[in-house]
Structure 1
């Protein structure tokens, strides 16, 4: 079991191997669930969105038809919460 130090501000830093295990990349978020007995469950936050968010975000930006690769890249960045 890994142990982490808590700073005076109440912050912790997760080691890279823990982040890799969770599948977390820089800029992504982590969710915590409170469990009985003072335990926490840690998991990667998976953003949710709607097709309206996707369409509204990219409306009017393309002057030519997009390739399937470009569409996939846009979709992946939207689900990753990137602007």
Structure 2
């Protein structure tokens, strides 16, 4: 069993072999998820793919053409 110590600031250094098994490197984010079946927390790498974001943002009710976008940019630029 691998263990780590929590510092007074609440920080924990994840042991190297655990980082390797999770595929973590410096700057990566992790999530702590409560497993309700066991009552324990699980550490999960938060390294999702961009494709996982599909469907997060709804399609606009009205589609806007490139010409309309350009006109809006010109209008904003003129008022600035």
Q: TM-score, normalised by structure 1?
A: 0.50
Shift of the alpha carbon at 1:47? Answer: 3.1
Output aligned runs, 1:48-59, within 5 Å: 48-49=49-50
Unpaired runs of 5+ residues, structure 2, are 55-80
CA RMSD of aligned residues (A): 2.2
1:60 counterpart residue number: none
Report 1 or 2 for greater relative contact order, CA contacts < 8 Å, sequence distance ≥ 6.
Answer: 1
How many aligned positions are there?
51
Give the corresponding residue for 2:41.
40
Is 2:30 aligned against 1:12?
no
SS of the residue 1:34 aligns to: strand
Q: Distance in 1 between matches of 2:11 and 2:26?
A: 17
**Which entry has the higher C-alpha Rg, 1 or 2?**
2
TM-score, with normalisation over the residues of structure 2? 0.51
